[in-house]
Amino acid sequence: MASHEQQDLVTRMERLERENRRLKQAGALAVLLCCSVFLMGQVKTRQVKPRTVRPVEAEQFVLKDIEGKKRAELLMEAGGPGLVLYDHEGNRIGRFGGVGEGNGAGLSLQGPGGSRVSLIFLQDGPHLLLFDTNGKFRTELGASAKGPYLFFNDPKEKGPRIALIIENDAPQLQISDQEGFTAVLGSNSLVSTKTKEVQRTTAASLLLFGKEREIIWRTP
């Protein structure tokens, strides 16, 4: 009888030990799950945390080469912000930035002796300007609101010697010399001296003007 009771006691103790092991495993799993949720929350919090950006402010930034010579600078000029480039000798060779009191943008490339090409975007449209080796403004190509145009300027910068214009869908070719004589091929506006009426010639017309802008010959 005692042996039977001892056997029953051993069986119950083994069952209790198995239940204790299950409880311990379940508790450990719960602790691990709680830790995982906590860590995930921390990672998520770090990911969405906003970054603080500190702007760098200055009126001028200078870029120098290994020899300490200035090769580029970012600065404020009269026309607006600009990025200026310099060659090894310190000569200005290019600029990109604002033009026209900050109302436009432009790109300028410079060569030796004052030669330069400039591409400018203003409110009335884009303009391409060419300067010769003496720094004289010689050629301009543009597209304004009225139409495209091409100018070849006098070497003394007294105005266009040759002008090709399409203004309000009216084409015109104008050629002038140093003395002031001018030939105009194409559409042109003429004002009558008697009636003051404005007459528009056709693209097939040819007008020759004297030094005082008087008509000396025309056809038709």
Give the pLDDT confidence score for residue 41 in this predicted structure: 57
**Res. 45: pLDDT tops 50:** no
pTM, to two decimals: 0.69
**Res. 141: pLDDT tops 90:** yes
Q: What is the largest CA-CA distance in the chain?
A: 150
Residues 6+ apart with CB under 8 A from 142: 125, 126, 127, 128, 148, 149
Residue 199 β-bridge partners: 190
Most confident of 50-59, 192-201, 202-211: 202-211
Region of 168 please: left (phi>0), alpha (psi -120 to 50) or beta: left
* Mean pLDDT, residues 130-145: 91
Least confident range of 9-13, 51-55, 64-68, 136-140 = 9-13
Least confident range of 7-21, 68-82, 110-124, 172-186 = 7-21
Q: What percent of the chain has pLDDT over 70?
A: 74
Give the pLDDT confidence score for residue 1 in this predicted structure: 44
Centre a 10 Å sphere on the Cβ of residue 84 and count the other Cβ atoms it contains: 19
Give the pLDDT confidence score for residue 52 in this predicted structure: 80
* Residue 32: burial class (beta carbons within 10 Å; 0-12, 13-18, 19+): exposed
pLDDT single digits (tens) 78-109: 888 999 999 998 999 999 999 877 678 999 99
Give the pLDDT confidence score for residue 43 in this predicted structure: 47
